[in-house]
Amino acid sequence: MSAMSDYLELKFLDHFTGTASTSAPSAVYLGLSTGSLADDNSGTELSGNNYTRKAITFASASSGSIANNSAVEFNSATGSWGTVSHFGIYDASSSGNLLFHGAFSASKAIATGDILKVASGSLTISAT
């Protein structure tokens, strides 16, 4: 399950009502969390231990959803990241704005030396 952030909902409304001209970000980035991220971007993204957001690309939307079209591989953890259970899609490689957020279908404990990989087609964002 995924959701749009409050930020993206407002940009969507502005764009499609002609209130403001907005453009899509040039790239989007996958961020990780050990807990839920909320529409208002509250929650805690991972930090430290060689963690950085990674660029993610998507195929065209179909049947109300869109999925990543290439694998995403994070850096090797230099310390525990905890149990990664949630994701955020951001408009910048650091800071920036949360666009979408959701939970992975399974959680994964990341220890020193582990590399988290998200397979192509395994991260889906749905419009409901």
pLDDT (0 to 100) of residue 2 = 79
- Residue 87's DSSP bridge partners are 32, 102
pLDDT (0 to 100) of residue 18 = 87
pLDDT (0 to 100) of residue 1 = 60
Domain ranges of the chain: 2-126
- Residue 65's DSSP bridge partners are 62, 126
pTM: 0.91
Kindly give the residue spans of alpha helices, DSSP state H, lying in the chain: 6-17
pLDDT (0 to 100) of residue 117 = 98
Residue 23 pLDDT class (50, 70, 90 cuts): confident
Residue 73 pLDDT class (50, 70, 90 cuts): very high
Residue 77 pLDDT class (50, 70, 90 cuts): very high
Residue with tokens 């509250």: 42
